[in-house]
Amino acid sequence: MNRMSKEKRNQLVLVVMATLLVMSGLYFFLIRNQQQTLADISKKKQTAEEKLAEIRETRKSSAQILKDLEHVTQTLTLKEQEMASGDLYAWMLDFIGKFKAGHAIDIRQFNSKGESAVAMFPKFPYREIAVTIMGSGFYHDIGRFIADFENRFPTARIMNLELAPESSANLADREKLTFKMDVVCLVENSSVSVANKP
């Protein structure tokens, strides 16, 4: 068997150590950096693919969003047609008079509170008009009037309701009540005067 001399063996050990050192240097400085770069690129690619999927989903739903917007716009237009317009006090008298026709109550007095900004919501795009009405009727008739009114007109509301027994000498009217309430309606944008706009 051939034995190496001590000098050749030392050279071989040095060559192996140098080779290992060069290979570990290549791994740590080149290969590992490349692996980290590839991992970063993979994460960026995954993020970009997720964003692309969101964009595609939004694009698919944009037709439905436009359809929903069109439906809401039509609904708003219909609701605005029920709002007060023109001569607001005359509109309110006519509005309440027509609605009262189907109810067994007596409205004796109308007092205008005028037009104002909607106090409940800041920067609300509509204004409101309020009218105080006073009259009389039986309890269940007044209740039916209020319930029917608030269910029928989402752009109007009844506020500050006061009920009191009617002071009548007539025996049939002994159970009647007098009422006082504020009827508040939103005013259509085109009817809001320039001076009244905020």
In sequence order, what are the residues at sequence separation of 6 or more whose Cβ sits closer than 8 angstroms to the Cβ of residue 84? 91, 92, 95, 129, 185, 186, 187, 188, 191
87 versus 140: which is more confidently predicted?
140
Burial class (CB in 10 A: 0-12, 13-18, 19+), 146: middle
Q: Are residues 176 and 97 in the same domain?
A: yes
Task: Say if residue 28 is in the same domain as residue 124.
Answer: no
Q: How many CB atoms lie within 10 A of CB 189?
A: 13
pTM for the whole structure: 0.58
Last-in-domain residue among 81, 103, 122: 81
Assess whether 104 and 192 both reside in one domain: yes
| CATH number of the domain residue 173 falls in | 3.30.70.60
- Asked whether residue 174 falls in the same domain as residue 108, the answer is yes
Range of the domain at 179: 88-196
**92 and 175 assigned to the same domain:** yes
Considering the domain architecture, whether residues 61 and 142 belong to the same structural domain is answered as no
56 shares its domain with 94: no
Q: Per residue in 129-184, pLDDT tens?
A: 889 999 999 999 999 999 999 998 888 889 999 999 887 667 667 788 999 999 98
In tens, the pLDDT along 94-117 reads: 888 888 888 889 888 888 887 777
Q: Of the candidates 131, 142, 134, 125, which has an alpha carbon nearest to the alpha carbon of residue 197?
A: 125
Q: Which of 49, 81, 113 is the last residue of a domain?
A: 81
Domain count, the chain: 2
CB 113 within 8 A of CB 180: no
